Amino acid sequence: PSCATCHGNHGATPPQVKSVVAVCGGCHALLEDLFSRSVHKAAFDQMSAPGCVTCHGKHEILPPSPKMLAGDDSVCASCHDSQSKGARAAAHMARRLAELQAANERSRQILAHARQSGMEVSEAELRLREAADRLVKARVAVHTFDLAAFEAPVKEGLAIAAETYRSGEEALRERDRRRKGLAFSLAAILITIAGLWLAIRRVESTPPGDPGR
């Protein structure tokens, strides 16, 4: 988006005009629809507060973050007391988003470690993309302000992240088993070589005609 996206080309619509405030819905129709059907729509209208820019700002376009939901500097804190039902719901969403993001990162790291160790984990890595998709869906569901709708993708994402993390653990255990097997094989080969070397030395050190030769 550029200046003209919101303000137009030659008309140069001035700030605070309703059409400028509503321009976000031109691209983010789903988010605008979710917000319009949420409990906050009437409250925002009553306060004459614009939907999108109240949380995401105007020109800075703040990216989604748990910090937008919880904390002294959060958007929600500007209207909700910290002990209110709305603030507790927002804090819960923030915790769950952070939990899912951390779980996805843990799985990504262990799978990357397994892949760098030479293990085949492409299927698990592909599966982990679904957990990342659930994180996006959970962030989208925040606009509904409906905990049930929000929790559904979070739980799915956490389950996938746990599954892929276990896949990473199993891959590393398999790596260790292979390394141990290789070590035993090398040890057996070295013992065999040593035995052959000793046998050859004994034969070479025995004088010709000796019955032990």
pLDDT (tens digit per residue) in 68-108? 888 777 778 777 877 888 888 888 999 999 999 999 999 99
Report whether 54 contacts 41 (CB < 8 A): no
DSSP string, 169-213: HHHHHHHHHHHHHHHHHHHHHHHHHHHHHHHHHHHHHSPTT-TT-
Gap between the terminal Cα atoms of the chain: 91
Q: What is the pLDDT of residue 145?
A: 87
Taking the C-alpha atoms of residue 166 and residue 176, their distance in angstroms, rounded to an integer, is 15
Q: What is the pLDDT of residue 167?
A: 96
Q: Is the pLDDT of residue 58 over 60?
A: yes
Q: Give the residue, 21 or 168, on which the prediction is more confident.
A: 168
For the chain, give the percent of residues with pLDDT over 70. 92
Q: What is the pLDDT of residue 97?
A: 94
pLDDT (tens digit per residue) in 192-212? 998 898 888 887 777 766 655
Q: Is the pLDDT of residue 143 over 60?
A: yes
Residues counted in the chain: 213
